[in-house]
Amino acid sequence: MNTPLSEHGSTFRGALTGLLGIGTYLPSRQITNEMICERIDRSDEWIRSRSGIRFRYWAEPTETVEFMAATAAERALEHAGIAASEVGCVIVSTVSHLHQFPSLAAGVAHRIGAATPGAFDISAGCAGFSYGLSLASDMVAAGSARYVLVIAVERLSELLDHEDSGTAFLFGDGAGAAVVGPCDQPGVGPVVWGSDGSHKETIRQSHSWAALRDAPAPEWPVITMDGREVFRWAAYQLGPIAARTLEQAGVTVRDLDSFIPHQANMRIIDELVKELGIPDHVAVARSVEIHGNTSAVSIPLAIQELLASGQARPGGLALLLSFGTGLVWGGQVVRLPPAPTGPPVQATTAPAHPTKEN
């Protein structure tokens, strides 16, 4: 277990807000490395050695982004003991909602019965959960809403070139949600976030949806990525970002109960652990092995995984750290929510009928 803050002379600085509940959704179709290798000239060993990934989950056609997001949101509300009617705002992070408007958040709010909350989508790629969490905490602290739902959801399998050996094996689908509300002690530290548009081509959509309008035989836009450049950027930039995040929160790595970085690549995670000097008592999220890279969904999935397994404790301090397309990044220290009833579990079946939204 973590050593109390007082023994180190540290004081966690943050808003009187916190994560009250967590909920996730994993699609019904598990995809192994062997299944991926049927379409790319690679092996299971090659994939695991470069990414740490063994399998991921892809959504069936009826597992739409609205369905997955709403299911995760309902589970988070149940975990927090908060009624949907009490939610004052719904924030959804996604890059795979294929309708420009209306917002996915508005549809999710209606679907879960959340009366008439504020509702909007954000596009911050893999850093979206950290961005949404910061916005939610600020809303609650300012009195703009008492409870805010932060949801991350992706169907990245729909945006993959399944014959691209650089990306086909990386990404998974799913949803994760958290309820943010008032607390009697600091629960969400200051966000350290930013962007560097000079690297915007490193992770991007191959071409605009507008290209589909005029092309006689249009190609579907897909994820394209310069993996080496992304790895190089992460190796040099994430350590200092994490250090600033800890400094802003007034804590050190020894005060942490867990370290929960974006689950992009096991090698990146291991390098960060070394660079930051993460002590042995700190649980480190490595769920990329079983979920793949689920973009912004990876952090709520990892939070639930660590809490359910007992590796991290409710109320313990966790360093969240994420980065993604833009390039953008975000990090904050948070107190973890109560322990969930179990880890993220694959859906046994997909819905029988799709909704109209996707």
* Torsion angle (degrees, nearest 10) of CA 231, 233, 239, 241: -130
- The pLDDT value recorded for residue 357 is 59
The candidate with the shortest Cα–Cα distance to 20, out of 85, 71, 87, 119, is 87
The residues that are catalytic are 126, 262, 293
Instruction: Report, as ranges of residue numbers, the positions in the chain whose pLDDT lies below 50.
Output: 1-4, 6-8
Which residues are CB-neighbours of 65 under 8 A, at least 6 positions away? 94, 96, 97, 104, 153, 154, 155, 175, 357, 358
- The pLDDT value recorded for residue 8 is 47
Q: What is residue 271's DSSP assignment? A: H
- The pLDDT value recorded for residue 69 is 98
- The pLDDT value recorded for residue 212 is 83
Residue range 314-351, pLDDT digits in tens: 999 999 999 999 999 999 999 999 999 999 999 998 88
- The pLDDT value recorded for residue 7 is 46
Q: What is residue 198's DSSP assignment? A: G
Q: Which residue has the tokens 């490193």?
A: 202
- The pLDDT value recorded for residue 219 is 84
182-206 residues labelled b (16+ CB within 10 A) or e (exposed) = ebeebbbbbbbbbeeeebeebbbee
Residue range 133-186, pLDDT digits in tens: 999 999 999 999 999 999 999 999 999 999 999 999 999 999 999 999 999 999
Residue 320 is inside which H or E element, if any?
strand 317-324
- The pLDDT value recorded for residue 292 is 97
Tokens of 2: 């973590």
What's this model's pTM, rounded to 2 decimal places? 0.95
